[in-house]
Amino acid sequence: MTSADHESTVRDRREEAVAAFEENRGILGRIQHTLHVTPALVPLIVLTAAIIGFTWYLGARFPEQLPLIMQQVQIVGVLAAAQSLIILTAGIDLSVGAIAVFSSVVIGQVTFRYGLPPTVGIMAGLAVGSAIGAISGWLVSRVKLPPFIVTLGMWQIVLATNYLYSRNETIRSRAIQDEAPMLQWLGAKPNEQLVNWIEASRGIEWERRRPAETDSAVLDFLWATNITYGVLVMIALVAILAYALRSTAWGRHVYAVGDDPEAAELAGVNVKRTLMSVYILAGAICAIAGWIMIGRFGSVSPSASTGVVGNIQSITAVVIGGISLFGGRGSIWGAFFGALIVGVFELGLRMAGANAQWTYLLIGMLIIGAVAVDQWIRKVSA
């Protein structure tokens, strides 16, 4: 065959539609495709529907409580961010809550028992969280143990270490407020600080608590937004991680490793290093959640419930958020929306006067529904 011959046959064949994509997929097919491309859409729709539903039933007093919901989900939201990273690599982390509690204890003890500056305490907490993540990451990536087993063991080990190290002592809120207020900084409210500062600059000083109503509607609104630095940290963290996962090589590698580690390795991705980085980062994020816990609760307690329920709550948020437990699929915004959905249901049903068990019943249904949707979306590949 001469090369000119070959050229022309190839050109002919290029004209053939070998695999044209069917344009008329039908409405269902198009929905499936959209969800496949934007996995955070389902939880966003559920969240919006839930907010609209509760507002319709409860009236304007429900949306007024949205900032409170943000405050209630900030710890779980940050833990869910860490959990998302691990689950994207097709792993699971049962130790996130334990790492958060232990980190908060380390932050408190380094400051109070050893009398070091609060900055050093926070640094020590972050270092401990990262180190625990590094151990898990090493066991998963080098020793090749299943993440479920590694983190199940780590959960017990970290929680036990937490009690032994802290001697089961709680550091009281009052003591922190007097000696190391920086530890509670994430619980402070920037909106109140701003309003107080504006009023102070106008020469208005309020005695004790400032009343919710003043003569300025703008300042009233600002006062009512009622957010904490912890909430801002949660949102910033999710935004930064979303950027890193979508727009950097590291993020693409995280998805590739979760999708098919062997293919990623052959394509030139350093799978072990990627896994290590994910586990270390997740540990550090859990430590941030530990710092947020001090802001939220005021005190440092080794027996905070987060150590036990934080793991399951974060996995719930991630699953409802549409991140696939098989790895490689989903978006971290989904996990954030997932955490908010849980918060909206909890508060909404409580305000409606329903039995708290209804919340768990609904969340259980959402979990199963979310995984069913995930399976349906994944059928695109079949």
Partner 1 sequence: MTEPILSATGLTKRYGKVVALDRCEFELYPGEVLAVIGDNGAGKSTLIKALSGAVQPDAGKIRLEGRDVRFSSPNDAREHGIETVYQTLAMSPALSIADNMFMGRELRKPGWRGKWFRRLDKGRMREFSRAKLSELGLMTIQNIDQPVETLSGGQRQGVAVARAAAFGSKVIILDEPTAALGVKESRRVLDLIQDVRSRGIPIILISHNMPHVFEVADRIHIHRLGKRLTVIDPKDYTMSDAVAFMTGAKEPEAA
Minimum distance from residue 380 beta carbon to partner 1 (Å)? 6
Alpha carbon distance 298, 300 (integer Å): 7
Scanning the structure block, which residue is given the tokens 């590739």?
256
The answer to the question of residue 4 lying near partner 1 (CB under 8 A) is no
Min dist. Cβ of residue 226 to partner 1 (A): 32
DSSP β-bridge partners for residue 171: 300
Residue 371 burial (C-beta neighbours within 10 Å; 0-12, 13-18, 19+): middle
C-alpha span between 379 and 226 (Å, rounded): 43
Q: How far is the CB of 234 from partner 1 (least distance, A)?
A: 21
Least CB distance from residue 40 to partner 1, whole Å? 15
* Residue 233 vs 264, nearer CB to partner 1: 264
> If binding is defined by CB under 8 A, does position 239 make contact with partner 1?
no
> 167 in helix, strand or coil?
coil
d(CA 255, CA 158): 28
Site string for partner 1, 27-56 (x = CB under 8 A): ---------x--------------------
Using the rule CB under 8 A, is 6 a contact of partner 1? yes
Using CB under 8 A, which of 2, 24, 201, 381 touches partner 1? Answer: 381
How far apart are CB 261 and partner 1 at their closest, in Å?
Answer: 10
SS3 content of the chain, % helix, strand, coil (to 5): 75, 0, 25
The single-letter DSSP state of residue 208 is S
**Looking only at residues 320 through 379 of this chain, which bind partner 1 when binding is defined by CB under 8 A?**
328-329
Calpha distance 294→102 (Å, rounded): 12
Ranges within 8-27 binding partner 1 (CB under 8 A): 9-11, 13-14, 17-21
Shortest separation between residue 337's beta carbon and partner 1, angstroms? 20
In the window 243-282, what residues touch partner 1 (CB under 8 A)? Answer: 243, 247-250, 252-253, 255-256, 259-260, 262-264, 266-269
Q: How many CB atoms lie within 10 A of CB 197?
A: 10
Nearer to partner 1, 16 or 215 (CB): 16
User: Can you say whether the dihedral through the CA atoms of 364, 45, 187, 121 is positive or negative?
Assistant: positive
**CA dist list (Å): 295 to 104, 113, 116, 202:** 10, 19, 19, 30
Q: List contacts with partner 1 (CB under 8 A).
A: 3, 6-7, 9-11, 13-14, 17-21, 36, 243, 247-250, 252-253, 255-256, 259-260, 262-264, 266-269, 328-329, 380-381
